[in-house]
Structure 1
């Protein structure tokens, strides 16, 4: 597997989801598989109830994540009015929920996110993939549905700038880090700061020139969008092989 689609994710706010407990909505520091597949699906115009298309997408793509190291964790507090639970009562719209003021209760919700984050994503396709990398690139350039960074209130801050590259993963990614960083610096010194990349990378599968130091278990493998079910997967954490970085710098 030596062809990659690379694109950037940047925004004032981003929330990548985690296991939800009660009224607290945590976030990972990195976009997970579900978030990245959802981004591609939205760009392609795949609806959430199209299980066959979503399952095909889930089976045939692997991701590598590079992260900037300047993102700042933050937490918001939200008050939400919801109706009390009542048997045989169904609400079809938010307007229906708000109609009976005496039935409303206020709950406190805490939501985590990262501010001023920057992530560089590489996508690799496995044999039998339903969309070529060229098709994914075209979709990211002209998405069917709006794209956002985990929540609808977190829009993209910069264009995705998707690019196709071929070669050893370590060389392709180290060159991409330099190329995207230079592009951000040309726009603004402040944007250049965002592309100070973390020394670690996270990925699934086998990719030449990447050396794993640790195996992690993430629960972000989509099983059903309708039921909002997720399974566990193994993610490798590691770095570029030194010889690959030296070769890319020549």
Structure 2
């Protein structure tokens, strides 16, 4: 039986990056492996340049997520004029993008997708459990983070503490999700995702399907790469399996 931390993700806006094409940046309905890795690392005070450390944390992270309140899709359309010689904003790691040739200006168009007024419950643990950072160290970091935490993007601050000491003990991720009371949900059946492989994967009978999720990151080379198998299904909250919560 494993111990899982319970995270409650809720805020005016959330964004869980999905596979993007050009400047259209969609959001997945639930958090991704790389996004949660970055969230935990930020709480611990790690830096983006610590690639090997981040890769190892991503490898150890075992989690499942449940959509308690679906929220609404919000698309932010951004349109900027870039004149010759001007720099467009880019992430610090990538550096500025400077328009070089031609006369006049170019339009830089972007579409950023967000979930508005949603709520997500996450259960997570680390394997192996005795390696640092331990689950207790992560819990303390989430309660008193080294830096501000965000729900996918800097423009998405949470509306409440992400972790308030809540844990569950269960034999699998799917079982742990069923033990966590929903956030403001008036339904008994809630969409969820959990690992399809591994000792803590859970009951495949609960899954509607198993699919590839391209949500891994090579933190050393600063690239999104790699995939994992994820079970997706609707969890009934009416009956709970064995286990415990605190």
TM over 0.5, yes or no?
Answer: yes
Instruction: Give the CA deviation at 1:125.
Output: 1.5
Q: Distance in 2 between matches of 1:147 and 1:244?
A: 33
**2:82·2:105 contact (CA, 8 Å) conserved in 1?**
yes
Q: CA RMSD in A?
A: 3.3
Task: Specify which of 152, 155, 166 is matched with residue 153 of structure 1.
Answer: 155
Q: Which residue of 2 aligns with 1:184?
A: none
**2:37·2:58 contact (CA, 8 Å) conserved in 1?**
yes
Q: Which residue of 2 aligns with 1:235?
A: 230
Q: Distance in 2 between matches of 1:72 and 1:38?
A: 24
How many residues were matched structurally?
228
Task: Specify which of 177, 181, 192 is matched with residue 181 of structure 2.
Answer: 177
Structure 1 residues 32 and 242: CA distance shift in structure 2, 3 A: closer
Query: When you count helix as a share of all residues, which structure comes out higher?
Result: 1
Q: Secondary structure at the match of 1:245?
A: coil
Alignment map for 1:1-250 (pairs within 5 Å): 1-82=1-82, 84=84, 105-127=106-128, 129-162=131-164, 163-169=166-172, 172-177=176-181, 181=183, 192-193=184-185, 198-204=189-195, 205=198, 206-208=200-202, 211-224=206-219, 226-240=221-235, 245=240
Instruction: Give the CA deviation at 1:227.
Output: 2.7
Instruction: Give the CA deviation at 1:20.
Output: 1.9
Q: Which residue of 2 aligns with 1:189?
A: none
**1:57·1:130 contact (CA, 8 Å) conserved in 2?**
no
Structure 1 residues 173 and 96: CA distance shift in structure 2, 3 A: closer
**1:4·1:165 contact (CA, 8 Å) conserved in 2?**
yes
**2:65·2:177 contact (CA, 8 Å) conserved in 1?**
no
Gaps of 5+ in 2: 87-91
Q: Distance in 2 between matches of 1:5 and 1:161?
A: 8
**2:74·2:114 contact (CA, 8 Å) conserved in 1?**
yes
Instruction: Give the CA deviation at 1:97.
Output: 6.2
Q: Distance in 2 between matches of 1:68 and 1:174?
A: 12
TM norm structure 2: 0.78
Gaps of 5+ in 1: 87-91, 182-191
Instruction: Give the CA deviation at 1:123.
Output: 0.7
Q: Deviations along 1:192-211, whole A, 9 cap, x unmatched?
A: 35x75752321113345673
TM norm structure 1: 0.77
Q: Secondary structure at the match of 2:222?
A: coil
